[in-house]
Amino acid sequence: MAGRFPMYALAGLVVVMGGLAACSPLKALNALSPGGASTATDGIAYGAHLRHKLDVYVPNGGGAGAPVVVFFYGGNWNAGERADYAFVGRALASRGIVAVIPDYRLYPEVRYPDFLDDSAQAVAWTAREIGRYGGDASRLFVMGHSAGAYNAAMVALDDSYLAKFGMKPASLRGWIGLAGPYDFLPIENKVTRPVFHFPDTPPGSQPINHVDKAVPSALLIAASRDKLVNPARNTGRLANKLRSNGVGVTEVYYDGVSHTTLVGSIAAPLRGLAPTLDAVDSFVNGKPRKP
């Protein structure tokens, strides 16, 4: 908890987390996040490409029958490494969850929708193989932050991706989005535009356009004053559409975090910023959520 960490150091971490695209803040969080509650197996191939690798974090003592979360990191679909998010894997494992963190191909090597095929392939590998690590494939969730939340949303809502690997969204127990872009046409970010074939971005690229009554339940978390991904337009609109289709959704907004520090608040040193890990734990493990 934050109270166990010097406040001046906590303040410094919050500042540097504003530059989350750089790897050094993430490495700092990894260095300061305890790994004693989990065992990691890294560099497992889930496909043929160099970036088709994933890491698995198992709770100490084994994860027999444990729920499973596949976590996709953000980075505007042009940056990111699974090793930088070890703090997420360790945190989830500390709550009895088997965590899987895959890499996926990035722009400019690929564009939409290739990284979604990678994401679905990683989920399919997990469904097939996670029993070897003690996880229960019938309790499988996908989760992501920012661009990774988009990946998780598309895997959970658009059945075409999992179908390529013999699965369907109903195979998932639920999905979790942290500060995700779910409804972002027309694309304003000039860096993002080429990733989605601007100006010919297809409407089917938007998660909000794939909601129906059959999709899995969701936990949607956002920073109240997110300056990068508008929370009302993205999290709010998607939550409303899920509800209007009778899909279970928990919608949470936190005041004490930004777009970037929201995922950072999962790490032990920054948990005082927001109870993000508690919310995920409650959703995945079926615990009553604290007000």
The pLDDT value recorded for residue 61 is 79
The CA distance from 269 to 156, in Å, is 31
Residue 205: partners with Cβ closer than 8 Å, 6 or more residues away? 112, 113, 185, 196
Cα–Cα distance measured from residue 64 to residue 96, given in angstroms and rounded to the nearest whole number: 10
Written as one letter, the residue type at 9 is A
Q: Please give the model's pTM, rounded to 2 decimal places.
A: 0.91
Distance separating alpha carbons of residues 221 and 115, to the nearest angstrom: 23
C-alpha 168 chain-centroid distance: 19
pLDDT at residue 35, rounded to an integer: 78
Residue 63 confidence (pLDDT): 60
Kindly list the averaged pLDDT for each block of 10 residues, start to end, along the chain of length 291: 41 47 72 83 97 96 86 98 97 96 98 98 98 96 98 98 97 98 97 97 98 97 97 98 98 97 96 97 79 44
Cα distances from 8 to residues 12, 89, 119, 256, in angstroms, run 6, 26, 38, 17
The Cα 91–Cα 59 span in angstroms is: 10
Cβ count near 171 (within 10 Å): 15
Partners of 98 in beta bridges: 68
| Pairing mode of beta strands 249-254, 135-145 | unpaired
Q: Does residue 69 contact residue 92 with C-beta atoms inside 8 Å?
A: yes
Give me the amino acid identity at 16: V
Q: Tell me which H or E stretch contains 163.
A: helix 159-163
**Regarding beta strands 218-223 and 249-254, do their DSSP bridges make them parallel or antiparallel, or are they unpaired?**
parallel
- Does 203 sit behind a cis peptide bond, omega within 30 degrees of 0 on the bond before it? no
Q: Which residue has the tokens 């508690």?
A: 278
